[in-house]
Chain A
Amino acid sequence: QQPVQSPQAVILREGEDAVINCSSSKALYSVHWYRQKHGEAPVFLMILLKGGEQKGHEKISASFNEKKQQSSLYLTASQLSYSGTYFCGTALKETSGSRLTFGEGTQLTVNP
C-alpha cells in the first residue's frame, strides 16, 4: 500500500533539472508532494487530483497519471534551497481519499 518513490537519492549541481517518481499498486484518489528539510516538518508543495497537472512553485511542477497510478515531480533549474527530502503521499480511491500514505522519500542534494 505504501507508494514507491524513485530514485532514492539524487545529487545535482545548481541549475540542473530533476524528476522524482511515485507509483502505487492501488487506484489513487489524489497525490500530494511535500518537502522536508533536515530536522524540520514536511512542507506541502502541491496536490494532484484526477489526472491533472498542478503547478506549485515557479520551477516546480508535477503530473498525475491516474490510469497508471503514477505521479512525477519536476524540478527545473534547481536552486540550493531545493535541497531536502521529497515525499509523495497517496490517497486511495477505496478510502475516498480520507488519508495519506507516504513513500520513503527521495533525498535531493543541490550543490553549488
Chain B
Amino acid sequence: NAGVTQTPKFQVLKTGQSMTLQCAQDMNHNSMYWYRQDPGMGLRLIYYSASEGTTDKGEVPNGYNVSRLNKREFSLRLESAAPSQTSVYFCASSRQKDYGYTFGSGTRLTVV
C-alpha cells in the first residue's frame, strides 16, 4: 500500500501565484488533515475533513482553501501565495478520531 501520497514534493512560487497541493490516501480512512510545519515548531492544523463531504478550519486557515474531492482525496489551495506561507506541508489521514494519523512525505513550498 502507498499510504498517503502528496504531490508535488517541492515547489517554488512567486508572491501572488496560486497553486494546489494534492493529497490522496488508499487506506479507506474517513478523516483527512492538512498541517504546516515551520522550522523549530510543531505542526499547525490548517484545515481538516472529519468525513467525506465535510471540512472545517483549524488553527491557521487564513490564505488557504480545501476541497474533499472524494473519500480518497483532500486538496489544499493557496489562492495568492505570500512569503509567510513558506513551509513544509503535511497531509495526514486517520480511520477515525480514536486512531493514529498516517502522514504523507510532505511538500516543501518556498514563496519568493
In contact, A98 and B103 (Cβ under 8 angstroms): no
In contact, B97 and A43 (Cβ under 8 angstroms): no
Q: Which of B11-19, B21-29, B39-47, B66-74 contacts the other chain?
A: B39-47
A99 at interface, CB cutoff 8 A: yes
Chain A residues with CB under 8 A of B35: 102
With A47-B99, A96-B97, A98-B97 as given contacts, are A41 and B105 in contact (CB-CB < 8 Å)? yes
Q: How many residues on A have C-beta within 8 angstroms of the other chain's C-beta atoms?
A: 27
Chain B residues with CB under 8 A of A101: 45, 59
How far does the alpha carbon of A89 sit from the alpha carbon of B103 in the complex, in Å?
13
Question: Interface on B for A, CB 8 Å cutoff?
Answer: 31, 33, 35, 40-45, 48, 50, 56, 58-59, 90, 97-106
In contact, B41 and A104 (Cβ under 8 angstroms): yes
A sample of 22 cross-chain residue pairs with beta-carbon separation below 8 angstroms, ordered by A number, consists of A30-B97, A30-B98, A32-B100, A32-B101, A40-B105, A41-B103, A44-B100, A44-B102, A47-B98, A47-B99, A87-B42, A89-B43, A96-B97, A98-B56, A99-B56, A100-B45, A101-B45, A101-B59, A102-B35, A102-B43, A102-B44, A103-B42
